[in-house]
Structure 1
Amino acid sequence: MNRSAEMADLSGTIEVARVVLVIGLVFLHYFAYPNSRVPPFEGFDPNHHQVATFVNSFVLFFFFSAVPLLSTISGWLFFGFSARPWEAIRRRIGKRGWSLFVPLVIWNLGALAIAFALRAVAPTSSLLGPFGIDFAHFGLWDGVDAVLGLTRLPVAFQFWFVRDLFVTVLASPLLWLMLRHAPLLAAAALCVAWLADFTFFGLFIRTDVLFFFYLGALARLRGVEPRVGWNTTKLLLLVYVVLMALRALAPLAFDPSQPDQREMLDLFTRLARPLGVVACWGLCLRLAATAWGEVIGRYGGFAFFLHAAHFPLIIFVKFVLWRLVPAETDAWMIAHYAAS
């Protein structure tokens, strides 16, 4: 395959990955069933609706690899230059301001307006909870913080990824120096920070984006072949699926409400993410080579809109559709989950 054909092939895979991974994030942001008190982040509920809560928890843990893979792709794309690096970095920071920061502000202002409109018509509604706003003590700083996510999650919480990605892009000159002068040492240091969930004194909401963005950049500059064989992909997927299933079933052997056990489970989940990144990328490579992949790839440009628009819409859809559920059985709960 010549160079231009290879890049076109990778471009198609990236478009497929964007669509598939964002769909996964939408499922992840379903959160708990309306009739369940156990958050899917802890695992399935061993006492009630075991099948439905397992499905929700397993899908959530599986797609924990979505943000790391999207960040890896972003780093690989950002550092794809061969000459005049400082000029290229400066230009790309400016472009990311328009493609990341401006949508961050606009969509969060919209979500904030929806939150206040909902409070005006239904001040005691439980639907206000996901917005994370203290309406009784809301001031100008709170509004700025809710929109930009300076010390908290943005009011449209899915934009934490966009917010951290923009901060990472702003730090790209420093990352470039690290990549040029101490690439492996910097990778090790960022890995330790990521495993320890060190946010650099609140500069990042989570360090997943920073670490995997750096890995993508490192892979690009080291000339790592961005391909995974199908046989390798199947093996990695099998291992990853088994690990995430075990994580979803963890409440059978562990108590996630205990801080020490929760930290151990969180570390286990975190350590599995690089495996999920490679497995999911290999799956996207395979999917992109099919007729279905060609169709999915056409909607790559729609992925950002889907990511931006799914909250707060999903909380209203969940509320409305739950009223239509005829019985609170596992089958109907899963149907509600998929429909929402």
Structure 2
Amino acid sequence: MQITPEISCRIKLLRLPLIVGIVTIHSSINSVGYADKFFQTLVAGTWGGSCVAFLFMLSGFLFFRNFNLSLNSYKEKLQSRFWTLLVPYLFWNLALLTLVLIVINVPATSGIIQGHYKKYIGDYSFANFIDCLTGYKSLYPIAFHFWYVRDLMAMVILSPVFLLIARKIPYLGIALFATPWLLDFQIGFSIQWLGPLFFYLGCLIAVQKLDLTWLDRQRSAIIGIYLGMALVLAITQTADIKTFQHQLECCTRVMGTAAIWCASDLVSGKLEKACFKFSGLAFFVYAIHEPTVTVFKEVFNKLSKPSNSITVIVYYLLTIILATLITLAVGSFLQRYTPKFFQTITGARG
């Protein structure tokens, strides 16, 4: 499937906003009241979650638009993803592991490492080291947000299966991937069913050459329905109403991906220019936003522990804004003064 200049521009425009959506998820702060819990749920649990789904779908679309069932094509894709996925994945997980080991073994800083990171340093065995890199026991690698890249690499390896399904039973394939996700089906180990489904949807769009202009013609309805579903989902999650909550969340993710695509055509002015200007830094922001957001949350907590919803919301928004701005600044510096290094650690996305 050929990418038109319009589609290419919209994909480029969306890169940074999608990553900021992920930042909103990891910037969440323990709530102290209904208002801040609802606000964080609405932002992170609805928009942020839809951004993750959209990224999987976009990855599938870009992968399969020029992929065919031949050994040469498969080898080329694996070689390409070795540099764009595996190398950055190993670099950032090893870098964070090294940082944690240094900090935890220096008496003056050992108390900083808590929670998620501390549990990975229970011992120095080879099995624990492999778990830090893969998350085979802990579900997530030590750079836990890289579970997305890890799962994406697994789907790249299985890409011929996705392509065969998209060619032979394209719409039955949606049911095959969506059913375990909707039913929250669990087997011996935890699987993020969201990834395979949206990766497959991206594959389906590319293989079947689906007309994306249909979404633009229904823009108002799609965005309106999504906002309504997002509000209902946020209310049910804030109130901890379990009945059909997971199914509503799944449906909101699907509608959210369509709404994100539709909304991308509405961005203009300074915001549009900023999205284009910093699109090459999106992966760097993704890679380094954690533990950056954790540091800001700890700093705010030390300065003044939030005691009301307004304070929590302010801290939450400040964490998102400051983490994004600082990672963009650091990324811009590296991109300018160490271009080869920057390209290596970001998978040549700069």
Match of residue 134, structure 2, among 123, 128, 148: 148
**Residue among 23, 27, 43 paired with 2:24:** 27
Distance 1:132 1:189, change over 3 A: farther
State the TM-score, normalized to the length of structure 1: 0.83
Q: Aligned match of 1:215 in 201, 218, 225?
A: 201
1:112-145 CA-partner distances (Å, limit 9, x unpaired) = 12222332234454x4203262533442111111
Aligned partners of 1:49 and 1:329 also within 8 Å? yes
Return the TM-score normalized by structure 2.
0.81
The aligned amino acid for 2:115 is G
> How far apart are residue 226 of structure 1 and its match?
2.2
- Within-5 A mapping of 1:116-131: 116-120=101-105, 121=107, 122-125=109-112, 127-131=113-117
1:44 corresponds to: none
SS of the counterpart of 1:155?
coil
Percent identical across equivalent pairs?
Answer: 24
Deviation of 1:220 after TM superposition, in Å, equals 1.4
Tell me which residue corresponds to 2:275.
Answer: 296
> Could you tell me how far 1:83 is from its partner in structure 2?
6.8
Q: Which amino acid aligns with 2:72?
A: E
Deviation per residue, 1:205-248 (Å, 9 max, x gap): 41212111111111111111223555632322222222222222
Q: Which amino acid aligns with 1:21?
A: L
CA distance in 2, matches of 1:190, 1:60: 24
Distance 2:68 2:156 in 1: 19
- Separation in 2 of the partners of 1:253 and 1:27? 20
Shift of 1:11: 1.2
* Letter matched to residue 101 of structure 1: L
User: 1:196: how far off?
Assistant: 3.2
SS at 2:192 equivalent: coil
8 Å Cα contact 1:19/1:300 also seen in 2? yes
Amino acid at match of 2:17: V
2:223 corresponds to: 237
Letter in 2 for 1:233: R
Query: Which structure 2 residues correspond to residues 93-242 of structure 1 after superposition, within 5 A?
Result: 93-120=78-105, 121=107, 122-125=109-112, 127-131=113-117, 133-151=119-137, 152-198=139-185, 202=189, 205-227=191-213, 232-242=218-228
Query: Equivalents in 2 of 1:153, 1:95: separation in Å?
Result: 24
Partners in 1 of 2:85 and 2:225 — Cα distance?
34
Given candidates 230, 246, 250, the residue that maps to 1:266 is: 246
The answer on whether the counterparts of 1:19 and 1:296 sit within 8 Å (CA) in structure 2 is yes
CA RMSD of aligned residues (A): 2.6
Letter in 1 for 2:33: H
Which blocks of at least 5 consecutive residues in structure 1 are unaligned? 37-47, 256-260
Aligned partners of 1:108 and 1:140: how far apart in 2?
15
Q: In structure 2, what is the Cα distance between the partners aligned to 1:251 and 1:199?
A: 21
Instruction: Give the letter aligned to residue 149 of structure 1.
Output: G
Aligned residue number for residue 339 of structure 1: 318
Determine which of 264, 273, 288 is the counterpart of 1:284: 264
Q: How far apart are residue 160 of structure 1 and its match?
A: 0.6
- Superposed displacement of residue 99, structure 1: 0.6
Aligned to 2:323: none
Mapped to 2, the partners of 1:118 and 1:265 lie a distance apart of 40
Task: Give the gaps of 5 or more residues in structure 2.
Answer: 320-350
1:69 to 41, 44, 54: 54
Residue in 2 that maps onto 1:258: none
